[in-house]
Structure 1
């Protein structure tokens, strides 16, 4: 009779950091694309305008002169997709180290929200989330959940041990 241990086996690391970065960025781009489609569908039904907070944040990070929202689309998309790709490297590292599945995706929602809020509030662009109207908090969390689950799906599939 074999004895069962409560200590889980450590996954065998078979992925390089470079591979995690590459797959993480790819999965993050797909996650942001899915999130963006979801946002556009939601905006169609709710009438909520597009947010230019990512563009304002990148503008401040790069010390660029302030420009009106109508001239900020490129910055907005660069920050939106770039931040998603960079954040997804964390999810790829999770996948490569055996932290996979829906529970990991739920953890990653918080990580993505933390990254957004840290950058937005550090640059003085954002407001603390608990000061937002409740419906905006819910909408933001739902969109980040789409990002997290799509990103997690791809990193989990691409980086299976």
Structure 2
């Protein structure tokens, strides 16, 4: 990297020069924070939908985390705590991937669209690995709901990371 490029604040990313100079820790922090805000937006949207449809909240994230850490929640409150920990924690960790993508120049709606798939892959892998979730061929209506909420998460997270 030339001194002139370094003086202008450009960072070398692979063979690309990117016009911002963030450190790795900052990229991780931006991704994790944006991911938690993306989960909050997804959850808010879900609560509005549940108010009108009467659909119950999923306990699958909490049960998945319980299996991963070999815990056995004794009450609904304990399961709710595990559910929120998995919900927000997984959203934060997954968004670090989106933060790294943004750092290396992959930004915008197309990248957000691809990120929907990344989030679904993480969800399905953990849920199926632990034996908690339904196989990927669960009912179409549930797939549509899952895709819509993951899209809200992905686009909010991507917008916050890219700006």
Q: TM-score range by the shorter chain?
A: 0.7 to 0.9
Q: Residue 79 of structure 1 is aligned with which of 82, 86, 93?
A: 86
Q: How does 1:1-161 map to 2 (within 5 A)?
A: 10-12=16-18, 14-130=21-137, 132-157=138-163
- Gapped runs of 5+ residues in structure 1? 1-8
Q: TM-score by structure 1 length?
A: 0.87
Unaligned runs of 5+ in 2: 1-14
Conserved 8 A contact 1:100-1:156:
yes
Q: Give the Cα–Cα distance (whole angstroms) in 2 for the partners of residues 33 and 11 of structure 1.
A: 33
Root-mean-square deviation (CA, aligned residues, Å) is 1.4
Aligned residues: 148
By how many angstroms is 1:66 displaced? 4.7
Whether contact under 8 Å (2:50, 2:56) holds in the other structure is yes
Measured against aligned partners, the alpha-carbon deviations of 1:38-67 in whole angstroms (never above 9, x if no partner) come to 110111122111101000011011111253
Contact 1:101 / 1:152 at 8 angstroms: preserved in 2? yes
Moved over 6 A (4+): none
Q: Which has the higher contact order (CA 8 A, sep 6+)?
A: 1
Q: How does the TM-score come out when normalised to structure 2?
A: 0.86
Shift of 1:83: 0.4
